[in-house]
Structure 1
Amino acid sequence: MEPGSGPGPGPGQGPGRWAATACVVTGASRGFGRSLARLLAPQLGPGSVLLLLARSAEALAELATELRSGTTGNDTGSDTGSEPELRVQYVAADLGCEEGLRRASAALRELLQDASFGRLLLVNNAGSLGDVSKSFLDLTDLEEINSYFSFNVSSALCLTSTALRAFGARPGCSRTVVNISSLCALEPFPSWALYCCGKAAREMLFRVLALEEPGLRVLSYAPVSRAAPPASGNGDSCGSCPLDTDMQLLARSRTADPGLRQQFQRLKEKGQLIECSVSAQKLLRLLQDDSFPSGAHVDFYDI
């Protein structure tokens, strides 16, 4: 499938609303996933469904109510007058355990059996940092390690496979899979062995998917900067400017490596962390333009 092909206005055809789209966002209850869901909702036109997945039922219910009301518009605070024709559903599930993954997979199969959808957009955003207070040599607990990879790698593989099999290769329909990646998929960070390995493994999974399924559009988007411009007036370079999230709070307070921990603390003090809504806007633009090579890694500052 060529970039931009598929029914109706949507990716590759400008900023028009995407009709008859099944849109799934994991890790939607907070941070980047929540910001992205708020931006995607006004883009989804008649016949569309937005399915939100995360652990917190309370946070998902609050977000779903907000999106159904259409009063928040996008994440910049403006009111777009979103129409109530968008159906918003949510499933609270811990994707790191078998029961939670089964619940989420069942919800995907039930949703995607609807033959009226002309487009599938799956955003694999759910992820965790792991215990960054531990160095490589501290990682000796097999249960801890397996649990980390079950949530951060295995669940993304299983959910994506389930969604694509349920949706199928429908003639004239488009399918886009997004992996929320990181600079850590490409470069090592001290005391972040699990996170770097998880992100690298996940990115390779989606590169393989792009090769095996040329009819898909596959994107790994890193929502933070690989090489941010120097801070004004002091000549310092960030090297990596993370999102301003709860995960970043954990990183700057718990990271075992003192140099990395202090770097994150300085970024916060200097106001150089990136707002989730700013990065989510860039991903939305990528999806609208739909000009990326399938399987590509695209960084915040590449756009």
Structure 2
Amino acid sequence: MSLITVIAELKADMELSTLSEAEISQIIRRVFTMLGWDADNRREVKPEHAVANGWVDYALVPHDVPQVFVEVKKGGEPLERHQEQLLEYAGKDIGLSVLTNGLDWWFYWEQRRFATASIDKDAPAEIAELLSSVIGKENVDTGKAFETALSLAELPKAWEALLAEPDELLVELVAHKTQELCGEVPDAGAIRAFLGALPDAHALQPPNAAGRKRGNGGKPDLTLVFNGKRYPVDYWKMCLVRLCEVLASIHKDRFADVLTVPSLNCPFGQRPYFSRRESELQEPLPIGDTGIYVHTFVGSHQVKRLVGLIASHFGHDPPVIEESRPP
């Protein structure tokens, strides 16, 4: 019998939400077994594991060292009532922990909930894959489970960063899909405004976990450092413009060589970074009085790469962009 089959049986069990904690605990032990753990070996699946301020229902113990805590509640019990208790049990020593009432499963990495599964709502195959990747014995043994938990926990931060400073590729993809749907290409600024209005990733997080503070997500203070000089700027794209202005003043006679910088490769064709014709660029900005415009439809990652490319094009070391956020 496979783990998917076991989960499908649970999905069909109409009494699951009414079972006692002891009955749910029996089900969890069965799941442990399907995940490769020896549920009858107290050295590997340790029940009532003592911690400084109580006992956690189960500790998964590969190589004689507790690595995962699992707290079990009765069927249908609201999990939000118990997450603080579990995270206190885990403290600083246990990075990966799980809270379940048999029907719902909440997964935590270092005090932050990073994934959930619902026997009632989710597909058995999807639940099995998540359980296997995060608390399967082989993956816990090898450490891969912790890598998976960390990567899933960082996803909200990655999404928040994309929304705060939309990556060029993300905006391009939205523009392309919009064109497919309605035949019109929206303005890049409108797309950025739309993405910026989406709920940030932290707004989608559960009430958490020891009330940890987060940064204000405000616009960073930026400074372009080039050739020993510092140039404060307001926006990422202005790092690009400012560098070009400096290079234009240094290389007056040959700044037009910037027009030979390799074109931008994107999923929808090649576009130049520089041109004398504004119509060839997205969000073009002039470079001083050179008559040359620069493509500024770029996010922070593209700016960091592009300033290095342009500086090296003129024989200079890559500039540094210092970034700090207001307290």
The answer to whether TM tops 0.5 is no
Q: What TM-score range do you get, normalising by the shorter chain?
A: under 0.3
Task: Please report the TM-score for the alignment, with normalisation by the length of structure 2.
Answer: 0.25
**Higher Cα Rg: structure 1 or 2?**
2
